[in-house]
Amino acid sequence: MLIGAGISLSRVLRDVARGALVMLLFDTVVAIAYVKFGWGWLALPHIPLAIFGGVIGAIVGFRNNSAYARWWEARTLWGQIVNQSRSLARQTLSMVEDCKSCDPSQRIRIQRQIIFLQIAYVHALRCQLRGLPPWEDLERLLDSETVGRFRSCRNVAVCIQKEIASLVAECFNQGWIDNLRWSAMDRTLSELMNAQGGAERIKNTPMPKHYDVFPQLFVSVYCVLLPLGMVQSLELFTPLGSSLVGVIFMALDEIGRDLENPFDNGVHDVALNAITRTIEIDLKQLVGEANLPQPEKVVNGVLW
């Protein structure tokens, strides 16, 4: 995710630079041909550029709103994962209590195991959404036997949640939690599953191709018509006016493309590295870990 303080103009315009250069060259050729070579037929002053621009702007704006809605829903779902992860850790530490015939060390071990499994879960989900292997993160959080069981899973995050649910059931069987507390912890796990399902839905359901093809086509046609409609009035200054307007439309079109895939492992993604690192810090702090990782930092204007 691009962070405001580190954004440079060159980074923002990088994605439209090639199209802008092509348009500037085309506008220059049209202006020189009209003024120097007398190609008057190039001038089409009666093209309703304002009307076309308004319609295309509305179409591109609608597409961008849809793309931003996907991006914002992805961030909202991960906000839920943050909240429910903290809730699960709090419930594990505060609601799982000793009984008279129980071994306290076993209870503490299982509490710690649940919390570290939850940390592993968010890292596994982040990697799944970005198409990355999760094993490096899992190996530093879990023992090799547990990680080995997950290697055969197609959906590692779901398998980790199943492991957590089994430990919660063990807490109930040991008498450390009652029916109400088990129900509360199960609701938290269900909310995590709901958020994961929503994130997977966004990941696995791309924007309709019409939303990609037609806005880009309309913007391209409009950029071709711009110098033809302006050259009679602007003459040699046509590249200045036409290219400026064209770059604005190309940038608007690019904004939607940048936001439509919030888990694409690019600079415009939801900052999953930072979010999962925050969860890891918070949950390790709750179990009294001394060596906490540092929060994710902005690198070259990007928070990953």
Nearest one of 10, 4, 68, 15 to 251, comparing CA atoms: 15
Mean of pLDDT over the chain: 88
In three-state secondary structure terms, 165 is helix
Is residue 141 domain-resident? yes
Number of structural domains the chain divides into: 1
Residue 291 lies in a domain: no
Residue 302 phi, psi (nearest 5): -125, 130
Q: Which tokens go with 62?
A: 């609608």
Is 90 inside a domain boundary? yes
Domain membership of residue 144 (yes or no) is yes
The whole-number pLDDT of residue 189 equals 95
Q: pTM for this one?
A: 0.86
- DSSP-assigned letters across all residues of 24-38: HHHHHHHHHHHHTS-
183-220 tens-digit pLDDT: 999 999 999 999 999 999 999 988 888 887 888 899 99
Q: How confident is the model at residue 138 (pLDDT cuts 50, 70, 90)?
A: very high
Is residue 270 situated within a structural domain? yes
Domain membership flag for residue 295: no
CA gap 282, 294 in Å, rounded: 11
Q: What residue numbers bound the domain in which 42 lies?
A: 4-286
What pLDDT digit, counting tens, does each position of 249-266 carry?
888 888 888 888 899 888
Is residue 281 situated within a structural domain? Answer: yes
Report yes or no on 297 lying in a domain: no
